[in-house]
Structure formats: C-alpha cells, structure tokens
C-alpha cells in the first residue's frame, strides 16, 4: 500500500546579481540571529539557571529589529529568521535529551550558507518559484520533474563552498512498495571492493578521492602560496572547493546507483553495524574509509528500504563474520586483516569478504525471524577484545 512521505528534491539555480545580493543579506541575517539567540540562551542558563523558550527568542527578535542597532533585519524576509530560531530550539532539545552536543556558534567562513523558507515566504505558480522580497522567479535547472500535483511546503536555499547555488524543495509524495522478490543478500563493506555481496559479486570501489588526489594537491599547493586576505587567495580557495565538490558529487551519485540496485533486487538486505567514527581515528585507514562513505550508503539503504517495502537488517558489530566458516560454522581463533583467503578444517576455501557477506546474510535472516527483535550478538567464545585484535 502506498505511503505518504516527505521527500526533498534538490536543484541547482542561477540567481541574478540582485537575487544573489538579497540571498547573501539573508544568509548573514540568519547567522546573526542564530548566534545572538544562542548567546542570550547561554547567558540566561549560566547566570540565571533558566532555559529560554522559542517564544522568548521570537519576542527578542522583534525587539532587536526595533532597537536601531539591528534594524537591517527588517530588510530581509522574516521567515528565514524565525526558522533559524526554530533550528536553535531543536538543537537545544537534542542537547538536553543527550542526543547531541551543546549548540555551536555559526562561523561566517566555515558554516553552511543557507536559509529556510516556509509556504508563506515563497510563491509557487505554474512551475515557477519566487521567494519573498524578490520580484523575479529563480532560474532553476529542472534536472528532474517534481511529482505531479506536488505542492512545495518548505524550501531551503543554499550556497556551497564551490560557489554553486541550490534550492531544496520539500514535498509530500506517495510512494508505493516494489513488487516482492524472493532474493536476499548480505553486504560486507570494504575498501578495495566498495561492497561484497553474499552472491560472490564484488562491486569495485571507484576511489573518487584517489582519482582526483593529484588535482586536489595541486590546487591546495597553489592556495598555500597565496597571500591571506587577497583576491588571488579567494580564487584559489574556490578552485580547491570545486575539486572537493566534484569528488563528493561523483561519490554521491555512485552510492545512489548501488543502493537503489540492492533495494530493487532484494527483499531482505543484511549489513554490519560498523563503527565508522572509531575507524577514521586510525590515520592509516581514515582517508580510505572516508572515501568509501559507508555511513552514507547505510543511510541511503535505510530510507529506501522503508520507502519501497524492503527489510534492512543491521547485524551487531561484534558478530565474527570474518572468522566464522559459512559452510560448517567453525570459529577461527584469529583472522588478521592481511589474510584475504583461507581454508577451513572442513575443507571449504573462503574468500574473506564473500565469506563475511554470507555470514552477515545468515545472521540477518535469523534476526528478521526473531520475534523479539534483539540484536545478533557474538557467538560464545568470541570476545570484544579478541575481535578488536
């Protein structure tokens, strides 16, 4: 049965000089309101021990506009400023619920340039989009069409470090499940092969960062030679950002193709719960692990499986998938990373990654049948310390 989900469509657009100037002012005002509200909240909590509500912050915003020092806040749309306060409120809610760290101030150079518009701050008519305080619609490159009859509820306008402008349109869309299939697959994430499937197939890792490493190093050397604060340095920084954007775009596109294929072809997909944050602390593996983007691919699998009626099972990270024989179930005492193929006492010859993917699939299928929903735990005899070794 089709379900209604909120889905974002991202498009690139090319603003006129007047629109770019208006958006730049909006970005600056959004950052100022966020930082000033954060400062007031921090002071109230430190000196008075009280929490400031969103209503108090909204009232303070009105007072700032009338104070004379910040009257320029009235020159931009009020909706992105109110949305900045809502984002700060959500950040504090996550902090007090111990889901996130204390909110940080937005930097003029390092923070993402963005502004969020709700339905009252833009006009959507006949396929054209016009923001508040603007007379002309945005020149959007419609790389794909919005769903028929979709009405945007929220827009997020942003500018990345490479100087590209984007608008992200949030709509409600009905998505139906894919036809059921009998196939199931276990997925073992890696570096040399992006993913290894329990069927024995290995999807090659394109290594986008490595392919552009020479171009990136050249651009970074040129940036290092430029004088700080000069226009030449600004142009060199832009060239570095464009190389990074090229790497990220190609990686993102490839991950979408791989995850979409896995979801379309399989009813149950089993993956490992990898501690990526801990892995990137290893300086020998950090670059390769980051380039593989395991966490991003898992996120794609999660929402695509939920959309299309598939089952994604996450196997416990301490499950000894590499040390377990998928043929007889014997558990090996050790399995160093340099061992890529091994022979079990039962006579089965294993490729390390394919064997791990088969074990992940078996554990995932067992977990999907488990009515309790408990995670798959390591077998008796395997310890956490031993698995880390």
What pLDDT, in 10s, does the model give residues 108-120? 888 889 999 999 9
User: Above 50 in pLDDT, residue 387?
Assistant: no
Is the domain of 191 the same as that of 162? Answer: no
Please report the pLDDT score of residue 191 as a whole number: 86
**β pairing state of 184-189 and 193-197:** antiparallel
User: Above 60 in pLDDT, residue 377?
Assistant: no
Is the domain of 26 the same as that of 157? Answer: yes
Please report the pLDDT score of residue 389 as a whole number: 28
Is the domain of 164 the same as that of 217? Answer: no
Closest alpha carbon to 237 in 163, 166, 159: 163
Q: Of 139-153, 247-261, 339-353, 372-386, which range is least confident?
A: 372-386
Q: Of 94-103, 225-234, 320-329, which range is least confident?
A: 320-329
Is the domain of 150 the same as that of 193? Answer: no
> Among 175, 208, 227, which residue terminates a domain?
175
**How many domains is the chain built from?**
2
Is the domain of 250 the same as that of 351? Answer: yes
Higher-confidence residue: 261 or 386? 261
Instruction: Return the ∠ at Cα 327 (arms to 323 and 332), rounded to 5°.
Output: 25
Return the beta strands (E) in 176-300 as ranges: 184-189, 193-197, 202-204, 268-272
Is the domain of 108 the same as that of 222? Answer: no
Closest alpha carbon to 155 in 174, 133, 130, 126: 130
pLDDT in tens, 283-297: 888 888 888 898 999
Please report the pLDDT score of residue 379 as a whole number: 40
Please report the pLDDT score of residue 36 as a whole number: 96
> Among 133, 158, 175, which residue terminates a domain?
175
* Contact (Cβ atoms closer than 8 angstroms) between residue 376 and residue 369: no
Is the domain of 70 the same as that of 197? Answer: no
User: Above 50 in pLDDT, residue 381?
Assistant: no
Is the domain of 107 the same as that of 203? Answer: no
Query: 16: domain range?
Result: 3-175
Expressed in percent and rounded to 5, the helix, strand and coil fractions of the chain are: 45, 20, 35
Please report the pLDDT score of residue 126 as a whole number: 85
pTM of the model: 0.85
Is the domain of 66 the same as that of 153? Answer: yes
Question: Known catalytic residues?
Answer: 188, 272, 353
pLDDT in tens, 234-250: 999 999 999 999 999 99
Is the domain of 155 the same as that of 194? Answer: no
Please report the pLDDT score of residue 149 as a whole number: 85
Is the domain of 111 the same as that of 131? Answer: yes
Instruction: Report, as an integer, the average pLDDT of 22-31.
Output: 96
Give one DSSP letter per residue of 332-350, joined into a string. Answer: PS---TT--EEE-TTS-EE
Mean pLDDT of the chain: 90
Confidence of residue 318 (pLDDT cuts 50, 70, 90): confident
> Among 175, 192, 220, which residue terminates a domain?
175
Instruction: Report, as an integer, the average pLDDT of 96-118.
Output: 93
Higher-confidence residue: 372 or 131? 131
Is the domain of 171 the same as that of 198? Answer: no
Please report the pLDDT score of residue 271 as a whole number: 94
């Amino acid at each position: 049965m089709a379900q209604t989900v909120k889905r974002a469509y991202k498009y690139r657009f090319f603003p006129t000089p007047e629109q770019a100037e208006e958006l730049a002012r909006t970005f600056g005002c959004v950052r100022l309101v966020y930082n000033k509200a954060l400062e007031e909240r921090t002071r109230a909590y430190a000196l008075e021990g009280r929490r400031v509500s969103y209503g108090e912050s909204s009232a303070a915003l009105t007072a700032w506009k009338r104070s004379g020092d910040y009257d320029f806040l009235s020159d931009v749309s009020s909706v992105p400023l109110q949305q900045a306060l809502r984002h700060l409120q959500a950040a504090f809610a996550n902090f007090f619920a111990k889901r996130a760290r204390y909110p940080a101030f937005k930097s003029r150079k390092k923070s993402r340039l963005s502004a969020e518009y709700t339905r009252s701050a833009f006009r959507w008519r006949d396929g054209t989009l016009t923001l508040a305080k603007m007379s002309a619609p945005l020149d959007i490159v419609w790389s794909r069409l919005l769903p028929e009859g979709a009405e945007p509820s929220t827009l997020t306008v942003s500018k990345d470090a490479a100087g590209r402008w984007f608008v992200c349109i949030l709509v409600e869309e009905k998505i139906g499940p894919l036809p059921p299939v009998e196939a199931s697959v276990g997925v073992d994430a890696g570096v040399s092969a992006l993913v290894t499937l329990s069927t024995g197939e290995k999807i090659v890792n394109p290594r986008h960062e490595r392919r552009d490493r020479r171009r990136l190093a050249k651009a970074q050397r040129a940036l290092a030679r430029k004088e700080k604060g000069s226009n030449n340095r600004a142009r060199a920084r832009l060239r570095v950002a464009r190389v990074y954007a090229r790497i990220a775009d190609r990686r993102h596109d490839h991950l979408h193709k791989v995850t979409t294929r896995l979801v379309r072809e399989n009813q149950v997909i089993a993956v490992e719960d990898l501690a990526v944050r801990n892995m990137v602390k290893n300086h020998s593996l950090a670059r390769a692990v980051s380039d593989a983007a395991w966490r991003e691919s898992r996120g794609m699998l999660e929402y695509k499986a939920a959309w299309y009626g598939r089952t994604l099972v996450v196997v416990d990270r301490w499950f000894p998938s590499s040390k377990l024989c998928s043929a007889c179930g014997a558990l090996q005492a050790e399995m160093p990373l340099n061992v890529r193929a091994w022979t079990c006492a039962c006579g089965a010859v294993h490729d390390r990654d394919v064997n791990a993917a088969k074990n992940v699939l078996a554990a995932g299928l067992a977990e999907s049948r488990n009515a309790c929903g408990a995670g798959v735990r390591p077998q008796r005899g395997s310890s956490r310390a031993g698995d880390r070794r």
